[in-house]
Amino acid sequence: MTALWLVLLLNLSIFFLGVFIWAVIQHFLIAEIPSALRHPVKFRCMHCVALFFITMGNILEKLRICSMPRFIQCLHDLVIKKNHNLMVTNMYFGTIPVRLFQPKAVSSKLLRDSYHNLCSFLAQETESVVLSVGYRKLPDHCYPSVPNDCLNATIHFMKGLKSYGVDSSRVVVCGESIGGGVVAIVTQALLNFPSLPKICAQVLITPATQIINFRLPSHQQNQNVPFLTKDLLMTSLCKYLDIDLSWKDAVASGTSIPPDTWKKYKKWLTFDNIPRRFKSKSLLPEFPGHFDEAAYLETRHVLTAETSPLLADSKIIAQLPQAFLVSCENDPLRDDALLYKKRLEDEGVPVTWYHVEDGFHGCIILFDKQPFSFPCSIKIANAVVSYIKGI
């Protein structure tokens, strides 16, 4: 029996080693390491590990043991840190699970509120009440579950701000990556509820603000930069929007966009709105590709402001609260932030822009993950805290 276990252990070790070697080979074949990045060796090591876990998740999914998103979520949950200076409460707003972070120290002042995946850090550093929404996730739920859950939870919470000691004039909504795009969507949608307190500010960290033009300079320049390569971005987007992966290339090239739709939105999505210093001479011809009606019929449900907040009517944009926008130089979504910044500014909305030259997509997640944190991670986290405290 002991020999059987040893053989099994040896085979598993060989299997895991083989997968890791494959991940390392994949990294050196496809990954591009930005020259401005600090600690490139650490960056390479982390990407190899990330590829290893993603591959393991895909293997488990194909074996029907566990879906890849659930596997990654379980790994993420293992590194959550407890903060003894906060009171954390799990509750439900209807069917939506939420987690409330509150400073234990009693304050004589009403507290502001914000939504963010770094809830514990923000709650402590800004002395704020922070609500995190446990929206429905892949693989069981796709669009529009995320924006709907976030909007419904926000409305529920806004109706009871006094019970949490929150100052109704200082409510902040905040999100990162797809969450940043959802924050923009929710902030726009809340304009339809005039009886609710108004949002004081929106904090959008490397947000996804449009899902139409994937040939912007940042998409071309950073398509092979970990941890959001072009392939991963388009695969994740299709799964989120419930689009068959066979249409992934059509979405990426823009062949699913009707000419009249592109003509209508080009003024907000064109290269011309990107500052010159973010462009390079080696860029491919501008979007879109030759129209494919079949691709359009499969993807047309995404061509709205409810999925791309950048496309909202100017009358809506003009009513939005002040914004804090974070962009990273080595991020394929960099230009999403730049385009939304211009839209807000064109309609007179005050914008504070924080650009990180050595930043990459998702780096803020690592701000407290020593020794895996990067200088850009700390800078963004502190910049968000500084902005919120200054409101």
Cα–Cα distance list, 81 to 76, 77, 119, 177 (Å): 11, 9, 11, 22
What's 283's DSSP letter? P
Contacts of 28 (CB under 8 A, 6+ apart): none
The Cα–Cα gap between 162 and 43 comes to 44
State whether residue 108 is helix, strand or coil.
coil
- 292 as an active site residue: the answer is no
What is the C-alpha separation between 97 and 142, in angstroms, rounded?
A: 17
Q: Say which residues have a Cβ less than 8 Å from residue 341's Cβ, sequence separation at least 6.
A: 323, 325, 351, 353
36-75 b/e (C-beta count within 10 Å ≥ 16 → b): ebebeeebbebbbebbbbbbbbeeebeeeebbbbbbbeee
If you compute the radius of gyration of the chain from its CA atoms, what whole number of angstroms results?
A: 22
Backbone angles phi, psi at 321, to 5 degrees: -75, 170
Structure tokens at 190: 């809340």
Q: Which of 132, 361, 373, 377 is catalytic?
A: 361
- Asked if 219 is an active-site residue, the reply is no
Region of 348 please: left (phi>0), alpha (psi -120 to 50) or beta: left
Instruction: Establish whether 149 is a catalytic residue.
Output: no
Catalytic residue among 114, 120, 177, 218: 177
Q: Which of 113, 331, 335, 336 is catalytic?
A: 331
Q: At residue 211, what is the residue type? A: I
Q: Which residues are catalytic?
A: 177, 331, 361
